[in-house]
A and B are shown apart, each in its own frame.
Chain A
Amino acid sequence: DQQVKQNSPSLSVQEGRISILNCDYTNSMFDYFLWYKKYPAEGPTFLISISSIKDKNEDGRFTVFLNKSAKHLSLHIVPSQPGDSAVYFCAASRSGGYQKVTFGTGTKLQVIP
């Protein structure tokens, strides 16, 4: 049972435009959400996170939006750059104590120069 779903396996965007990556979750107990970025032959690296008490968190070109009622979050990258080309994983966990992090299947983003 996949609790974190990324339904788009891939996305192509022109350099300078906006990239929007989507993620849905099914476990209503999740209250903390993260995005990780992964380059080939490397491990995932933390990008940005959001707590369920917020609906938006921004860090430079990256913004994550959370819609709790829809159990949906999205990552916006503006403007997209060729170096952003990577696989992006959505992840979720419960806060407090020893809670494991549950990952999605990833979306491969290609930013075309």
Chain B
Amino acid sequence: EAGVTQFPSHSVIEKGQTVTLRCDPISGHDNLYWYRRVMGKEIKFLLHFVKESKQDESGMPNNRFLAERTGGTYSTLKVQPAELEDSGVYFCASSASPGGSNSPLHFGNGTRLTVT
């Protein structure tokens, strides 16, 4: 079984530019999550998709961030325009059932975003 894959693994962009991160969850996993870790801090929840619907987007920092999951398969997270504080590692995770007690999250290796 292929794991969660994320692309790109690294991205360096200038402030004000746009970046799009992609996540391919494990096949058949309806639940897809985006998390972010800023250097040395907690892995912070951004949002949760159930199939193509946004179940919870309470962690999205502001309207510069847009997540989509058209067709309920892969997901993209776009940051436009990027700011310095957006730097960090963006993790995508998926699970067959809602994460936590129902089933553990399976994480991708993350995209390291650096905004200069």
Q: Give the B-binding residues of A (Cβ under 8 A).
A: 2, 4, 9, 31-32, 34, 36, 41-46, 49, 51, 89, 93-106
A42 lies within 8 A of B109 (CB): yes
Which of A9, A31, A43, A51: most chain B CB closer than 10 A?
A: A43
Inter-chain CA distance A104–B100, complex, in Å, is 14
B42 lies within 8 A of A101 (CB): no
Give the tally of cross-chain contacts (CB within 8 A). Answer: 74
Complex: chain B residue closest to A108, CB-CB: B40
B40 lies within 8 A of A34 (CB): no
B56 lies within 8 A of A101 (CB): no
Inter-chain CA distance A36–B35, complex, in Å, is 14
28 A-B residue pairs with Cβ-Cβ distance under 8 Å, sorted by A, are A2-B42, A4-B42, A31-B101, A43-B91, A43-B107, A43-B108, A43-B110, A44-B43, A44-B91, A46-B104, A49-B104, A51-B101, A93-B101, A95-B101, A95-B102, A98-B55, A98-B98, A99-B99, A99-B101, A100-B45, A100-B59, A101-B33, A101-B99, A101-B100, A103-B43, A103-B45, A106-B42, A106-B43
Please give 14 more A-B residue pairs, beta carbons under 8 A apart, in addition to A94-B100, A103-B42, A103-B43: A9-B40, A34-B104, A43-B107, A43-B108, A46-B104, A49-B104, A95-B101, A96-B101, A98-B48, A98-B50, A99-B98, A100-B33, A101-B100, A106-B42
Inter-chain CA distance A98–B48, complex, in Å, is 9
Interface size on B, residues (CB 8 A): 30
Inter-chain CA distance A99–B35, complex, in Å, is 14
Complex: chain B residue closest to A96, CB-CB: B101
Inter-chain CA distance A42–B58, complex, in Å, is 26
B100 lies within 8 A of A44 (CB): no
Inter-chain CA distance A97–B31, complex, in Å, is 12
- Which residues of B are found within 8 Å of A49, using beta-carbon distances? 101, 104
- Which residues of A are found within 8 Å of B50, using beta-carbon distances? 98
